[in-house]
Copies of this chain bind each other. A is one copy, B any other.
Amino acid sequence: MGALPEIVLQKMNDLTNNSKLTLEDVGRLAGVSRSTVSRVMNNHPYVRENVRKRVQETVKSTGYHTNAAARALVTQRSWTLGVVLPRTVHSFFTDPYFPRLIQGIAQACNQLNYTLGLFLISSKEDEEKIFPRISRRGSLDGILFQSDQIGDQLIERLAGSNEPMVIIGRPFHDDNINYINIDNINSAFMAVDHLIKLGYKRIGAITGPSTTTVGIDRKEGYVKALKNGSRLIDESLIAEGDFTEAGGYKQMQKILAAKPDAIFSASDLMAVGAMRAVREAGLNIPRDIAFVGFDDLPLSTPVDPPLTTVHQSVFEFGFKAVEFLIDLIEDGSKPSRHIIMDTELIIRKSCGAYQKR
């Protein structure tokens, strides 16, 4: 430091404090041009080693950071990804699904040097206000959109803006849309088939909303499994839930009248509510009614008995979605793709598999 004249030190101090340094300033302090500093900041080759060192030291001592807006303007890349959770997603703060998904997305963003913009839509007005912010060029490099209600207009509008976009879950119209999903139909099939093989005769279902593709697909898997096992579909054994605990409880009370001996629930959280209703009716799980759920996420309270369920890796789901989107951003010319993640049936006590043996 002894080499620097006092006036430069003074300048450095000024600059450090108000922290409004530009490349030009740093260049001046390091005795190089703004281009060279830029090269150093962006790890370009072709900078002499001792110059690079000197610049790096100046950058460090001044606390200089690249101005993101200026960089974004010239590179046409914001390094920001938008995550949109539509307003019909009510269960945001009761079902661990969304927090877990966001964790996966956030971790991927961190690792891949993207910033994560979160858009929680809670009303029609929000939607209108937010739309320009997500579709405005220059602020987002791509969009992750949680699939929700079928015929979602926002999804169509966004798809029209031909920005890189990946839908999380199956969109209703999947023509020419990139999405990542699990095979809900076969996963549900697998779960219900397991109950059939265990010998249950009256297998009921608490489905998700029939206005969502998840709800539709998981129900389809249930129906398919029954048909495959030559069972009749009994509508009195089926009730439409809303992916909440309270919904599961309420729907189970309805189904109880039809005397089921097993239940497939389209989510663990609904299964918990349903089990509560069963217990209140004085019945035993799994002896009187067996249970299979869907999700296998850690709920805030342990379930008793432990729930047999379809495991999906929500964290990886979010992570992969980000990788998929970045891939799209880097090469937008690719034809649309669908990524299907694996699921697995985890057998625990609630299905009665252990008792039967």
Contacts and interface: CB of A to CB of B under 8 A. Distances in A.
Interface in A287-337: 298-302
Contacts of A211: none
A130 B110 CA distance: 7
Given A69-B138, A99-B99, 15 more contacts: A68-B72, A68-B139, A69-B70, A69-B139, A93-B100, A94-B96, A94-B298, A94-B299, A110-B122, A115-B117, A116-B118, A117-B117, A245-B302, A299-B300, A300-B300
29 contacts: A19-B162, A65-B137, A67-B73, A67-B137, A67-B138, A68-B139, A69-B73, A69-B78, A69-B138, A69-B139, A70-B73, A80-B117, A92-B103, A93-B96, A93-B99, A93-B103, A94-B96, A94-B298, A99-B99, A102-B118, A107-B120, A110-B122, A110-B129, A113-B129, A115-B133, A116-B119, A245-B301, A273-B301, A276-B302
Contacts of A94: 96, 298-300
A106 interface: yes
A255 interface: no
A20 B137 contact: yes
A353 to B, nearest CB: 24
B107 A122 contact: yes
B67 A136 contact: yes
A261 B272 CA distance: 30
A172 interface: no
Range class of the A interface residue count: 35 or more
Nearest to A160: B63
Interface of A: 19-20, 63, 65-70, 72-73, 78, 80, 92-96, 98-100, 102-103, 106-107, 110-111, 113, 115-122, 126, 129-130, 132-133, 135-139, 161-162, 245, 269, 272-273, 276, 298-302
